[in-house]
Structure 1
Amino acid sequence: MPKVVVTPKGTGVPIAPFSPGTLADGIVYVSGTLPFDKENNVVHVGDAAAQTRHVLEIIKGVIETAGGSMADVTFNSIFLTDWANYAAINTVYAEFFPGDKPARYCVQCGLVKPDALVEIASIAHIGKS
């Protein structure tokens, strides 16, 4: 099966050469997602929980556009700028993954825009297991 680009309706133009998601062989790969609005401005400045919710809603949109759901997510890569936000990020994260949790890792680092506090990339298996 060839790769299919996944772009939810209403998605803004990315700030770099990438697609919001790709689908290949029943697997959705969601690009690193930042708390941006359609004009690539950071939303909810200073609020890690609200930024995390925004990011996960965007990821949910990519996965649903590809035909899956958040229950299909098998792996997340989480990048945060400050470990002080870890608890707030986890609280919101747990709301999006109430059942079996996907595997993941979490790394503290700098992000492309200083006001962004969190970035998440996901992999979801929507094909037959």
Structure 2
Amino acid sequence: MPKTIILPPGTSTPIAPFSPGTMADGVVYVSGTLAFDKDNNVVHVGDAAAQTRHVLDSIKAVIETAGGSMADVTFNSIFIRDWADYAAVNTVYAGYFPGDKPARFCIQCGLVKPDALVEIATIAHVGKN
């Protein structure tokens, strides 16, 4: 099955060998996304809510570039550095998914950069239901 690489306008070069998103058979897979600026520096250091907003806006850009919307998201994998940030992440997250909520999980773990507080990977179905 052929796949399409999804690169939103203004996408920075990833820090590892991956694409921001791929689409195959109407399904968009968004790589783990952190709150990075165009030079791959962490933004909103110390602010889990602002980092979550930045991450979800970046995910939204990938999905919209593929022709979908956040309403097409079916699954999120959420990684947080500290459980103390869980409530802040959830508050921002809920605003991006006001209707039916996607399935998800959330775990606490170390992230690729010490100042990163949240990472989210996403699956969205933008093709036929």
TM-score normalised by length of structure 2: 0.99
Question: Which residue is 1:21 aligned to?
Answer: 21
> What's the CA shift for 1:50?
0.1
Question: Which residue is 2:38 aligned to?
Answer: 38
Describe how 1:47-62 pairs up with structure 2 within 5 A.
47-62=47-62
Q: Note the residue ranges of structure 2 that are not aligned, 5 or more in a row.
A: none
Q: Secondary structure at the match of 2:11?
A: coil
Could you list the structure 1 runs, at least 4 aligned residues long, displaced by more than 6 angstroms after superposition. Answer: none
Q: Note the residue ranges of structure 1 that are not aligned, 5 or more in a row.
A: none
C-alpha separation between the residues in 2 aligned to 1:99 and 1:87?
19
Question: Which residue is 2:121 aligned to?
Answer: 121
> What's the CA shift for 1:128?
0.7
Question: Which residue is 1:68 aligned to?
Answer: 68
Identical-residue share of aligned pairs (%): 81
> What's the CA shift for 1:2?
0.9
> What's the CA shift for 1:118?
0.1
Question: Which residue is 1:87 aligned to?
Answer: 87
C-alpha separation between the residues in 1 aligned to 2:39 and 2:11?
9
How many residue pairs were aligned? 129
> What's the CA shift for 1:60?
0.0
> What's the CA shift for 1:42?
0.2
The code of the aligned residue for 2:116 comes to A
C-alpha separation between the residues in 1 aligned to 2:94 and 2:87?
11
The code of the aligned residue for 2:62 comes to V
The code of the aligned residue for 2:87 comes to A
**Cα RMSD for the two superposed structures:** 0.5
Q: Secondary structure at the match of 2:38?
A: coil
